[in-house]
Each structure stands twice: as C-alpha cells, then as structure tokens.
Amino acid sequence: MTPVFPAPPISSTSPSSGGRATASKVLVIGIGNRFRRDDGIGPILADRLAARGIESIEQSGEGTALMEAWSQADHVILIDAASSGAPPGTVHRFDAASEAVPAGLFHYSSHQFAVAEAIEMARVLGRMPQRMDVFGIEGYDFSYGEGLSPEVSRSIDRAEGLILAELRENGLEVEKS
Amino acid sequence: MSKAKPKTRTNGKAKAAKEPKTATRTLKVDALARVEGEGALHVRVRGDEIEDIRFRIFEPPRFFEAFLQGRIYSDAPDITARICGICPIAYQMGASQAMEQALGVQVTGPVRDLRRMIYCGEWIESHVLHAAMLHAPDFLGLQDALQLAKDDPEIVETALNLKKLGNRVIEVIGGRATHPINLKVGGFYRAPRKREIRDLIEPLKWAIDSAIGVAKVFAGFEFPDYEDDYLCVSLRHPDEYAIHEGRLVSSGGLDIEVKDFPDHFQEEHVGHSNALHGMMTDGTVYLTGPNARYNNNYAQLSPLAKQVAKECGLGTVCNNLFQSILVRMVETVYACEEALRLAEAYEEPEASSVEVTPKAGIGAGCTEAPRGICLHRYELDGEGRIVNARIQAPTSQNQPQIERDLRGVVQKNLNLADEALKWRCEQTIRNYDPCISCATHFLNFSIERG
C-alpha cells in the first residue's frame, strides 16, 4: 500500500499582524504567552519591533505553526523566554541556521514539538530560512498574570538593541522609535 | 511511505527479562515527552502486584477561573482561549455558548454553520498534529517525529499540509490561526467573504483523500492488545455527529442537558496532582475524547468515514485506545468532509452575530474539544459581569481513566523489562492526547552566548 499524496492546493498565508513588509523578507517571531508574565517577553519585543516597521508576528511556540510562519522569510529572528538558571534578563543568542540545535539542551514545559524540534524538522525537510537568529531572554516569573517581572522589564531595551544591531548588520534599515 | 513499517523495539517483549517475584520495581518518568504540558508518572510494583500508580500533573490550579471573576461576559471567550494554544476554539465556543444561554440568545443558521466549520478546522489541525507528529512515532519504534521525517518525509509533509489546512480554516473564519480574534458571544465580529470560503474547497477535497491515505498507513501499525469496558461520555446531537453542541450522553444511558452536568459529574482534588480529577458523582470513572465520541455516535458518521474506519480494521466500537490514532484519523476525514460540505453551501449571512443584551443569569456550554468534552459554566450579575466561572477541561476528566488504564496495562505487561514497560506506559498516556497545562512554554538553555 503506497498512497500517493498530490501537492495540496493551499494558498500561502501571509503573516497577519505586525508592521509592514520589507523587501529583504525579514520576519520577527515573538514566541510566548502574554498571560504568563515573563513568558510574554517574546510577543512584547515583537510589538516593539513592529512599531519600527519590521514585520513581526506572535506565536504560541507550537512547532508546525512556527515552520509555517517562517516559510516565506529569508531572515528569521525568533524571540522566546528562556529558563536556564542564568540571571533573569540574561539575553541568550543562538545561530540556528548554521548550528544544530542540541535538543537535549532545551527543556520544554508544555509543547514538546516546539522550537528546537521545529528547527531540526525544518532542516530535515529543507524548510529552513537562510538566516535564523534565536534570542532567548531569561525569565524569572512564569506564573499566571499579565506584565513582566521588574528583572525582565529592565532587560527589554538591551535585548531590543541586540536584535536591532543584528538586523542592521544584515543591511536592514530600521526606523527609530 | 513504504519505509514507515512498524518495528519491534529492541528493548521490547522479545528481550524482556522476567523479574524475580519478590523484587520491588519502581518506574519513574519525570517529564513525559510528546504530551502538551507537564506531567510525570510514578509506578511501584512488588512482584506481580502494583502497589502504586500516580499520573502526576504539574499544572498549576486553574487560576483562569479566578481571573475571570469581575470581568464582563464578553471577555470570557478571548481569555479562556489562552488556556490552550492547540484548541482555542473549544474554549472560545464553550464560553460563548454558556454566555448565550445565560443571556437567553440562540445562534442558528449560517452563523451556526460557520461555528461548526471553524471547529472542524480545529479538529483537523489538532488531530493531525497528535496522530502524525506525536503519536505515530510510538508505533514505529522511533524516538520522535524528527526521526520519522528523516525516514519518511512524505508522510510528514502530508501531515504538515493537513495541519496547515486546518489552521487555514481557522484563520479564514477566526481571523488568525493561533488564538483567533473573530469569535464572540453571539457569533463573529465579521463574516468571511464567500470568495475566502470558496478558496478552501479544493484544498479540502485534497485533504479528504490525504487523510484517508494517512489513516491507512497508520492502520498498518501493530497495536498493543489492551481494552477496558469504558464508560463513554460525549455530546450527542440529533442531526449530526456532535462537535460543537448537543446533549451530554454516556454509554451507560445518561442523557442530560449540559447545564445539568454538575448534578452528575464531580471533580476531586487529589494529593499527587494539581489537576482536578473528574468522575461521576457515584465515583465511577469515565472516558471522554475521540473513542468516547466514536463509540457513542458511530451511527452518525458519514458513509465515507465509516468505510475508512472499516478499512482500517475498526468495528462500530473501539475500546482499544492504542487505536485512538485511527479514530482520530477517521474523525479527521469526517471533519474534512463536513468542512467541505459547509464551505460549498456557504452564503454570507446578513448579520455575523446575534445581538446580546447584558443581564443576570446562569449558563452552561459544552463542546467536543479534540481531546473530549470541555465544559463552561458562568454566573453573571445584572451588568453582565462574571460572578462565578467554572471550566472543566477534558484532560482533568480523563485523568482517573488514564490511571486506570495504566494500572491495567502495567498488570498485563509485568513481563516486560523496565524500559519497555515504561515506554508502554508513556504510550498509554499519549493515547489520550493529554493537554496537561495548556498555558505556558519556555526554552531552557544551558548554554549562554552573545
């Protein structure tokens, strides 16, 4: 039994929120849940970058949706909350396009087919963008509720600065907010 | 496709060593892979006797209910949707229907059809994600979906495209795929254009055939032999395979209105888990989810879905939950057919929602989330503010039945070596597609750069 699956006639979807499209197909993906305090850092940073005219979307972190989201982009910036034991507000950075993600180093508390799996799956299936920079901002408070902890709030500007520097280095003109 | 052959795990039955009868074996799985959320399993066996089985959930108590108190009725759908990134429609629609009952309005006609259609989208995306990416590897002896993609990229690509189509249905009707923004008490903020819905027709036709293809591949798996005499609880609707509304029924003869749920079902707090355990008021455990729906409402499936079930080796009742992967694919075929039928018949409604006037009242709503019945009950004050909220998610209802299955599976497989038995237990839990915490995720980096 070898079923044949024809290519699906599904039109591609464009990111539906955030700033305007840019010629260089840069996409910022803010991952997290705004109702779990510091877990909202990804979407909050994505909002800030959208305000500067950079195409930015929010995602829950489910892996297949992530792969779909970045399918049309050349350069992807993934922003997520991290929980590694480092001081809250620490900005971790990972070049996912050129380095394999050591899956054992990632701990997921709820979505097992998540960021690391999506990246490695995309690599297997040839669905990786040319560049992908993962920024993880160390969180402190992941309890229910809105708003970041003071520790993480203080790191927003620095994290945003690092991401903007990365984008400018790659030739993207970024508006001043 | 041909590479996806069931394999015998090297640490499986064939190499199992019989443990001495007197030894105490303790199996611990501290963090369960491939389930949504945070859970752990603890099993203690002495000789041939199971001393203790605990399926532990780290889910924090449901602060969402407290979070809702004092908020206006119209906030409930969007806030409760945040309980889950995989099945937000279940929460949005259950909350909306409860509010509609409290406020004395009914959603009918084309707006009701749109609700059923977006719910089909959620079934498609959630069922395919679980079946292909999380559950199938259990039967292939593959550690994870990544390995499956290396061995058989075609089936993974097909599954990803099916899931994408489910998301697309949600996006077209709900405004976006994750935490849709277009659903509200009374219906939708905006009805989709006819052209947008018609664009789904060809992809849905493709999806029916593809879902059947995937189902047949999965039917070739070897399924562990374990059955229980499940008390199946689901919705039932007189005119259709119940998805988004109906009466609550059980295979034991229960047939009640959703609002009477608290008279027949209870939730208990147990020491080893943060999630409440659901059971009948007489203490009987029950099953909710795809197999409960299939067993209760098989007769209402489409002829094609029944045929696919038959070709996959399923009867009219399926009490082997290891075969829930097949039931999910049969339901996926049905959901694709339903979505197609509704898309072909779609005409833009004159009004995208029913007008709602805030007032005091009590209302209940229930829908069939991919994992099972998801109940909402709200009490509103005279301004339409929430005085009381109660939400019962399917996984907490299934938790006692999961423990019962684990007990049965362990008892039946005591001859397996620890690793193989542990694997079988994890597989037993994954049969339920449990959505344990539904609310957070984060990376745990142990390296620091930059």
Q: Can you tell me the distance from the alpha carbon of B72 to that of B57, in angstroms, rounded to the nearest whole number?
A: 31
Which residues face B246 on adjacent strands? none
CB contact under 8 A, A109 and B35: no
Residue of chain B whose alpha carbon sits nearest to that of A143: B60
pLDDT digits (tens, 9 = 90+) for A113-147: 778 878 888 998 889 999 999 998 988 888 777 89
pLDDT digits (tens, 9 = 90+) for B80-93: 887 766 688 999 99
Residue of chain A whose alpha carbon sits nearest to that of B443: A82
Contact indicator for A119, B145 with CB cutoff of 8 Å? no
Residue of chain A whose alpha carbon sits nearest to that of B153: A125
Q: Can you tell me the distance from the alpha carbon of B157 to that of B154, in angstroms, rounded to the nearest whole number?
A: 5
Q: Which residues of B touch A116 (CB under 8 A)?
A: 443
Task: Kindly provide the residue ranges of all beta strands, DSSP E only, lying in B257-303, ordered along the sequence.
Answer: 265-268, 277-280
Quick one: what percent of chain B has pLDDT higher than 70?
A: 82
Q: Can you tell me the distance from the alpha carbon of A165 to that of B74, in angstroms, rounded to the nearest whole number?
A: 42
Most A-contacting residue of B129, B196, B433, B441 (CB-CB within 10 A), to test interface: B441
More confident residue, A104 or B241: B241
CB contact under 8 A, A82 and B207: no
Contact indicator for B177, A58 with CB cutoff of 8 Å? no
B43 pLDDT band (50/70/90 cuts)? confident
Q: Can you tell me the distance from the alpha carbon of B9 to that of B240, in angstroms, rounded to the nearest whole number?
A: 41
CA dihedral B79, B433, B215, B407 (to 10 degrees): -160
The alpha carbon of B132 is separated from its chain's Cα centroid by a whole number of angstroms, namely: 14
More confident residue, B253 or B281: B253
Query: Is A2 domain-assigned?
Result: no
Which is it for strands B265-268 and B255-256: parallel, antiparallel or unpaired? Answer: unpaired
Which residues face B39 on adjacent strands? B57
Average pLDDT over residues B252-272: 85
Question: For A120-151, b where at least 16 C-beta lie within 10 A, e where not — what string?
Answer: bbbbbeebbbebbbbbbbbbbbbebeeebbeb
pLDDT digits (tens, 9 = 90+) for B364-407: 999 999 999 999 999 999 999 999 998 888 887 888 898 899 88
Q: Is the pLDDT of residue B54 over 60?
A: yes
Q: Can you tell me the distance from the alpha carbon of A176 to that of A53, in angstroms, rounded to the nearest whole number?
A: 9
Q: Can you tell me the distance from the alpha carbon of A16 to that of A131, in angstroms, rounded to the nearest whole number?
A: 22
Query: Is A32 domain-assigned?
Result: yes
Q: Which CATH superfamily is domain B63-400 in?
A: Cytochrome-c3 Hydrogenase, chain B (1.10.645.10)
As to burial, measured by CB atoms within 10 angstroms (0-12 exposed, 13-18 middle, 19+ buried), residue A21 is middle
**Among candidate residues B385, B388, B365, the one with its CA nearest the CA of residue B74:** B385
pLDDT of residue B81: 80
Which residues face B349 on adjacent strands? none
Q: Is the pLDDT of residue B55 over 90?
A: no
Q: Which helix (H) or strand (E) holds B43?
A: strand B39-46
Query: Structure tokens of B15?
Result: 């190499």
Task: List all residues 6 or more positions away from A46 whose beta carbon is below 8 Å from its beta carbon.
Answer: A18, A28, A29, A30, A56, A57, A58, A79
CB contact under 8 A, B448 and A86: yes
Query: Is A68 domain-assigned?
Result: yes
More confident residue, B417 or B100: B100
Across the A:B interface, residue pairs with CB atoms under 8 Å apart total 195
Query: Is A3 domain-assigned?
Result: no
pLDDT of residue B322: 96
Please count the structural domains in chain A.
1
Q: Can you tell me the distance from the alpha carbon of B173 to that of B179, in angstroms, rounded to the nearest whole number?
A: 12
Q: Can you tell me the distance from the alpha carbon of A120 to that of A103, in angstroms, rounded to the nearest whole number?
A: 9
pLDDT of residue B28: 58
Instruction: Give the range of the structural domain holding residue A95, as residue numbers without chain letter.
Output: 26-169
pLDDT of residue B269: 65
Task: List all residues 6 or more positions away from B313 whose beta carbon is below 8 Å from its beta carbon.
Answer: B219, B326
CATH number at residue A105: 3.40.50.1450
Q: Which residues of A touch B436 (CB under 8 A)?
A: 110
Residue boundaries of the structural domains of chain B: 63-400
Q: Does A170 touch chain B (CB under 8 A)?
A: no
The interaxial angle of helices B290-297 and B324-345, nearest 10 deg, is 70
Place of tokens 């229980």: B228
pLDDT of residue B66: 78
CA B243 to each of CA A37, A141, B112, B337: distance values in angstroms, whole numbers, following the listed order: 33, 37, 12, 13
Highest average pLDDT, of A29-38, B194-203, B404-413, comes from B194-203
Q: Is the pLDDT of residue B101 over 60?
A: yes
3-state secondary structure at position A95: strand
More confident residue, B259 or B83: B259
Which 12-71 residues of chain A touch chain B by CB within 8 A?
Answer: 13, 16-17, 31-36, 39, 58-65, 67-68
